[in-house]
């Protein structure tokens, strides 16, 4: 049983997972099953056998991700530089578990949680290659971004940023973060929209023998502002001045306006996460807090 993070959360356990499998996918019901420890917020994940993962949404707003991934990942997977999971089966809602769910391919590897990556220029280059390959995929016939989904125009989120800074009070440097947000907003609207992963956090990237091999959890996949996928500068690489961040941004030929907008996207995600998960998800709180401290320091050290 997992800790509750959302008001409308459906808590799961191995017994529930086995019941769903027995009722809908009995051919897999007797395979070994283990809960996967992670600090993600959308799903409970269970490794099923050696080659599959069972993903049970925690809350209703995550329940549409499986259908989205089933529709989009087969199109994108052959065209990008990292492995992506495959949706192998879609499960139905039931009276005892009211959300759709999925079985996906299990991608081996170690995630990046807790790893110091500020000097890992090889990994930064590999991640830049993935972002570039995703951007290169045609956006023709791409589904429209859902209203409220990550991306779009930073200006849509002015009220949210103001509210979150006020909510956090003395837990953050509100004046510095307000100044950082205005700098990001001043970078202007994005140019041509491209495919973005949208959630390149440490838990969503896998390495094998130190080499970046896979990207997972593509529920935020959208065609939107390409600067959204520059947020690893603050979530992985320790800020824009590290060797890894310079390699990442250099390989993508990222203009300054994109970097500033990316900092805004990183700030928005962290500001939303920090108060929401303060008492329930220490891993997400650490990640969001670290990103905000980096952004605060960049504003403090910027020329007047």
Per-residue pLDDT of the chain (304 residues; tens, 9 = 90+): 456 655 667 788 999 999 999 999 999 999 999 999 876 678 899 999 999 999 999 888 778 889 999 999 999 999 999 999 999 999 999 999 999 999 999 999 999 999 999 999 999 999 999 999 999 999 998 988 887 788 889 999 999 999 999 999 999 999 999 999 999 999 988 889 999 999 999 999 999 999 999 999 999 999 999 999 999 999 999 999 999 999 999 999 999 999 999 999 999 999 999 998 888 888 899 999 999 999 999 998 766 5
pLDDT of residue 303: 64
What is 111-301's CATH number? Answer: 3.90.1200.10
Q: Who contacts 40 (Cβ-Cβ below 8 Å, separation ≥6)?
A: 203, 204, 217
Q: Where are the domains of the chain?
A: 14-107, 111-301
Which of 42, 123, 38 lies closest to 81 in space, CA to CA? 123
**pTM exceeds 0.85, yes or no:** yes
Predicted confidence at residue 281, as pLDDT, reads 86
- How confident is the model at residue 267, as a pLDDT? 98
Q: Quote the pLDDT of residue 8.
A: 67
Structure tokens of 124?
């930064």
Residues 223, 232 contacting (CB under 8 angstroms): no
**CATH number for the domain whose boundaries are 14-107:** 3.30.200.20
pLDDT score recorded for residue 6:
56
CA distance 36 to 58: 14
pLDDT at position 202 is 96
Q: What per-residue confidence (pLDDT) applies to 191?
A: 83
- H helices of 117-157, in order, are 121-135
């Amino acid at each position: 049983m997992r800790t509750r993070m959302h008001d409308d959360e459906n808590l799961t356990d191995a017994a529930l997972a086995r019941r769903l499998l027995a009722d809908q996918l009995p051919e897999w019901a007797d395979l070994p099953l283990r809960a996967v420890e992670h600090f993600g917020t959308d799903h409970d994940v269970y490794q099923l056998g050696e080659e599959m993962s069972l993903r049970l949404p925690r809350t209703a707003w995550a329940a549409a991700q499986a259908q989205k991934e089933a529709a989009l990942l087969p199109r994108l997977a052959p065209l990008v530089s990292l492995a992506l999971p495959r949706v192998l089966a879609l499960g139905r809602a039931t009276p005892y578990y009211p959300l759709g769910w999925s079985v996906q391919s299990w991608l081996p590897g170690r995630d990046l949680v807790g790893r110091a990556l500020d000097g890992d220029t090889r990994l930064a280059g590999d991640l830049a290659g993935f972002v570039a390959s995703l951007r290169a995929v045609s956006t023709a016939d791409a589904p429209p971004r859902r209203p409220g989904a990550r991306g779009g125009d930073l200006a849509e989120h002015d009220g949210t940023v103001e509210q979150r800074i006020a909510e956090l009070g003395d837990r953050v440097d509100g004046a510095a973060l307000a100044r950082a947000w205005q700098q990001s907003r001043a970078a202007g609207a994005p140019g041509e929209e491209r495919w973005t992963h949208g959630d390149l956090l440490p838990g969503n990237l896998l390495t094998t023998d130190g080499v970046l091999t896979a990207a997972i959890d593509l529920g935020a996949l959208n065609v939107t502002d390409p600067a959204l996928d520059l947020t690893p500068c603050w979530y992985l690489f320790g800020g824009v001045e590290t060797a890894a961040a310079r390699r990442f941004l250099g390989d993508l030929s990222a203009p300054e306006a994109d970097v500033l907008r990316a900092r805004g996207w990183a700030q928005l995600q962290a500001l939303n996460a920090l108060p929401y998960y303060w008492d329930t998800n220490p891993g997400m709180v650490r990640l969001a807090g670290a990103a905000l401290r980096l952004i605060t320091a960049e504003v403090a050290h910027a020329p007047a």
